[in-house]
Structure 1
Amino acid sequence: MTDQDVPEGVPITFTVPISEPFAQAAAQALRDVRQLADDGFPDNPTSSDRAPFKRDAAGFWGTPDPVGEARRSLHGMTLDIVQLSWDNALDHIRALEQDVVMKPPPVWSPLTLSRAVMENCLFMHYLMDPSISGSLRLARCAGLWRTDVQHMEKTARAFGPEQEAAVAELSAYVTKCLADAKVEERRNSNNKLIGYMVDQESASLDINITEHAAKAMPPDLPAPYRILSGAAHGRPWMTGRARELANDSEESLIGEAATVMTAVMVVMGALEMGLTAWRDYFGIDLDETLGRLAYRRRIFFLEAVALTHGSE
């Protein structure tokens, strides 16, 4: 099919079994967008002088040392987290490419994998959001860093005193680094740490994924994080549908094309969101790549309609 309007009257629900041609088309679409996103950066990118990245860098270099040095280091870690999140998102897309062509077809695993892609891209957007100041960016990074250490502290208790001591040393290091950068703690009335503040700019201790997804993901994906989380956390309100579909078969659970379709569209939307954040924060030209991603998304939608409703 070509990029044309869907014929009137076609029910775009995708509540049909996952056929092999549909699964192969989904896998190819995922492979295409992953490669487009991964290869889409220019070889010699030039950044606009008005890019938020340059504004942030100028501000941190203009801050007298040792505070300036500490803030530049924290900013560097922020960018390192962004790259880590991007690489992790692409890794999960590669896994999803294999998952959608499994035999028998997958049930809820596509949503779990696509949730990881979206979550990593949301971390990227949260830290590269071009609409916020450099001070707020540092406060957000500080919150994520501290939250990670808190998770490590809880895990260390299961492995004994030696691991607990190592994490305690890391926690002390984080506290010192944040203090050196003049990152102030925010505490509630019970003296519980709830976030950080840099130059009067405040951030929570951690990203609110559900809220940020509603803000940053494309508007044509309603409540994507809640839906994907229902599958990833095995909530019966979500997973029970697959058992209902299996009533007249020998299988305990049966997946449907709608699940794969949702996963693919979430991945595509997340990649576009992530690349837009790269473009807007660093001021580099990614418009051609974003245009090709949007075109591939439209083509896959039309292919999916043909493969699931072509005989109706």
Structure 2
Amino acid sequence: MKQSELHWIALSPNVFVDYTEGKILLYNTRNYKCITSTDTRLINLIREFYRPENLGVLSLDEFEKMTSNDVRVANNMNMFVSVKNSTKPLNFLPILNLQHDLTKNMSGGLKEIKGKLSLLSSLFIQINYGYADSKVSFYRNLTSKQYATPCFSEEKTTLRVDFVEQILKEACLSSIHNVHIIIGSPMINIMEYIRIFERYNFQYYLHIYSDIVYEFLSHISDYSSVSKINFVVFCDRYSNPNIAQRLIKESKDCGNFEFINLIDEVDRLLSCSSSAMKMLPVWTENNFDFFWRRGIFPWMSLHSPN
């Protein structure tokens, strides 16, 4: 029996979005039409499109609940796309910072910002949240805003396998080559996801904290499949250094491992300087002196303030 079609509204991939001085700017790079607005309904509508769980698409009912005069004007300018489909489509929206970077480097102006999806080479998918006490969660959530590390929450939400497959199926039509899977908790049936990964020819990177690696690996029943996945293992001030050292010795039998030490203070930098692990600086909102200290990360080209 054929499933009945549902009505969806997506933000057009031809639309450039920016926020400035309490206003929102929508610019259609296909027809060169532009709208700036302070209308809260339009601003909130665009924010809803950008929410991770919506993936650039809303149902018609959700869209109509947020309708206003400016939303109708934007719709008449083809800022939105109507889609009828039995399942929710996906729309890979560009990161707003990417748009700013494009604008800075383009002499031709906004009309040249087209086909943004073709500029993307990597896709990041967080399967579930990590869970820890409030102190660790706060620190690691700060880190997750700087690097592709797991977010932490009290929620036990997990991205379903069929939804991950739908994302990968859509990504096949793009220029995406690398898929980064972010795991916060080991309590998932990882083999279900690995079987999905094998169907789609991407380079897979699995991001995980060292704390849960062994528990995570205990759920894997077929190591021949795992050998095709690259593991990116993060260690921070709350990680047990002995686990990382043990993993480094044993990783040859478990796949391709990269170990990254997240450094936020001079003492940790000095204690980890002899390690073979790659080091990345982490901003914790109160370690300004660490970042401005000369010679710590010379590749960052930082200079002391006057």
TM-score bracket, shorter-length normalisation: under 0.3
Q: Which has the higher helix share?
A: 1
Q: Which has the higher contact order (CA 8 A, sep 6+)?
A: 1
TM-score (norm 1): 0.24
Query: Which is richer in strand?
Result: 2
- TM-score, normalization by structure 2: 0.24
